[in-house]
Amino acid sequence: MYNQFTFIQNKNLGINPSQVIRIKLPSETDNDAKKLMDRLKALANVDAEALTGISPGDQPRYQKQEIVMPSGNIVSEEVMNVSISNGFVETLGVELLEGRNVIDWIADSAYLEALVNESFIKAFGIKNPIGLTFSSDYNYMGHNPKVRIVGIVKDFHFSTLHDKIGHMVFTNQGGNQVLMKVSATDISFILEEVKKMATEITGSSEFSYDFLDEHFADGYRSDLERRNLFLFFSYLALVIACLGLFALSSKLVLSKSRETGIRKTFGATTQGLLLRYSVSCTIHAFIGLVISIPIVYYYGNSWLDNFAYKREIGISVIIFTVIIVYSISFLTVLF
C-alpha cells in the first residue's frame, strides 16, 4: 500500500492541477459561468481561466460514438465528451501535440470544434484526424451540430488512477464550471472578489469552490482510510507478535537453565547459546511467514486491482518483508 501511494503521489498526470480553483455558481448556467470567467480576466493574480462542463477528478461518463471513416467504414467506440472553453488548455497545462486549440463557440456555427486525445486517435484508427468531421449526439443550443477535429492533445489523466485514460473529445461548448489558475499563495482576496462578482451576476453571494488537486485527492479518500486501518492493525499485530515471541524465548531459556549450565561448563559461550536459542525461536517466525505471505499477497493484489495504473507487488517487497520480520524477531529474542 505504501508503494502504491508513493506511486500515486509521484505519477505525472499529464496536467498541472496545482493552484487551480474550481468554482460552481448556484445558478449552474453556462451563461452566468461565462460572465464570471470574463470578469476574472481583470484580476491581477489570476493567470488563466476556463469553462468546463466536467472537471478533472470527476467521475468519468462515456457514451457510444460512431464515426464514418473516409473509407466508408463505421467505427464505434465508448467516448467521453467534455465541454470546454478556449482557456482549458492553458489553465491545466494540457500539451497540444498537433493542430490548434479550439475557438469558443460562435452562434450559428455549422459545427463544434474539438480536441481529441491520443487514445481517441488510436481507438478509431484515424490516420489524418485534423479536419475530420463527424456527427454527434452532443445536444447544444437545442440541436446536434457536427464535430470537427482541430487539434490533438497528449493523453492525460482526467480521473484518478483507478480508471484507464479513455477516448476523449473536448468540444468548444463552454460549461457551467469555472476553472481559474492563480499565482498568489494567499487567495482570500481573490475569493472575496469572486464573491462580489458572483453576487452581481447571480444575485446570490453563495458559491462553492475547491482546489482541483484536492478534488483529485478526494478520489483516493477511501483507499487512504483503508491504508491507515491496515497500518494500524499491522503495527498492533507486530507488537502482539513481539510480546509473544519474547514470552516464548523467556520460557525457553528458563526451561533450559540446567542445560545451559552444563553447556557453559563444557566451554559454550554466551553468544553461542543466544544464537542457538534464537534459531529455535525464529522458526516460529518462519512458520508465520509461510502462512501469512500468500494471504497478504492475495489481498494486496485484490486491492491493487482497483487501480488501472499500479505498482505490482514484486519479489523485492517479499524479500524486504522477510528481512524485517527476521530482524525484529532476532532483536526481540536478544532483548
Alpha-carbon distance of 207 to 193, in angstroms, equals 12
State the pLDDT confidence band at 74, using cuts at 50, 70 and 90: confident
User: What amino acid occupies position 1?
Assistant: M
DSSP string, 39-66: HHTT-TTEEEEEEESS-TTSPP--EEEE
Q: In sequence order, which residues have a C-beta less than 8 Å from that of residue 217 and are 6 or more positions away? A: none
**Which one is predicted more confidently, 104 or 66?**
104
Alpha helices for the chain (secondary structure H) = 2-10, 30-40, 88-92, 118-124, 188-202, 212-218, 221-255, 257-265, 270-304, 315-334
> What is the structure's pLDDT at 158?
92
Could you read off the pLDDT of 1-11 as tens digits, one per residue?
777 888 888 88
**Which one is predicted more confidently, 242 or 334?**
242
Bridge partners for 24 per DSSP: 177, 208
> What is the structure's pLDDT at 253?
60
Alpha-carbon distance of 320 to 212, in angstroms, equals 36
Alpha-carbon distance of 233 to 75, in angstroms, equals 51
| Span 299-317, average pLDDT | 83
pLDDT at 172 over 80: yes
Could you read off the pLDDT of 243-302 as tens digits, one per residue?
776 676 666 666 656 655 565 565 656 565 566 666 666 676 777 778 877 887 888 888
Whether the Cβ atoms of residue 191 and residue 131 lie closer than 8 Å to each other: no
- Please tell me the total number of residues recorded for the chain in this structure: 335
> What is the structure's pLDDT at 325?
72
Exposure pattern of 117-156 as b/e (b: 16+ CB <10 Å)?
Answer: bbbbbebbebeebeebebebebebeeeebebbbbbbbebb
DSSP state of 121: H
State the pLDDT confidence band at 238, using cuts at 50, 70 and 90: confident
Task: State if pTM tops 0.95.
Answer: no
| Span 12-24, average pLDDT | 91
> What is the structure's pLDDT at 157?
94
User: Cα angle at 88 between 112 and 55, to 5 degrees?
Assistant: 95
Could you read off the pLDDT of 116-152 as tens digits, one per residue?
999 999 998 888 899 988 887 665 555 567 889 999 9
Helix (H) or strand (E) holding 142: none
State the pLDDT confidence band at 86, using cuts at 50, 70 and 90: very high
C-alpha cell read off for 67: 464515426
Beta-sheet strand order (sheet of 208-211):
46-52, 177-182, 20-24, 208-211
Could you read off the pLDDT of 47-57 as tens digits, one per residue?
999 999 999 98
